[in-house]
Amino acid sequence: MWETYQRNRLAFEAQLLAQEFPHFGFHEPTGDTYLSGYQSTSAGSSYHLWLPIPRGYPDQCPPAYIYRPNPLQGHRGLRTINSYGSSHEMHTLGNGAHGEVQICHFRPERWDASVTLAKVLLKCALWLEAYEQHLRTGSGIAKFVRSMP
């Protein structure tokens, strides 16, 4: 029953993504489902995002990683964003299995099943725009991205 619900939810999500983020798609190479694609910024940079879909989705918050580039350089190359790990200043959570930066897009305790993957990708796109501002100014990403109240 749960697997049917999740499959129907992912089919619904695929329809939304086809409209809002057509450059992203679902993959199931080993039985685990993930969403991936490239997101470009207004500065013209491109980032490969990877979101493994937890088995408890949509009731469980999916993580969002910047798969490439890895490591993700910081302002003037003095420090990588990866080196911050879980950081409010950079709006990041613990790094992925291969050191990928994990974007903090929703607080897991505030997540609910009404949030779509399209909304997660929108927040990732905003994070990437803030990251581009960090590269220019050296200010933390938190200066450009507000936390949810």
Stretches in the chain below the pLDDT threshold 70? 2, 147-149
What domains can you pick out in the chain, each with its CATH number?
Answer: 2-143 (3.10.110.10)
Tens of pLDDT along 53-91?
Answer: 998 999 999 999 999 999 999 999 989 999 999 999 999
Amino acid at 143: K
Res 41: pLDDT: 98
Strands 34-40 and 24-27: antiparallel
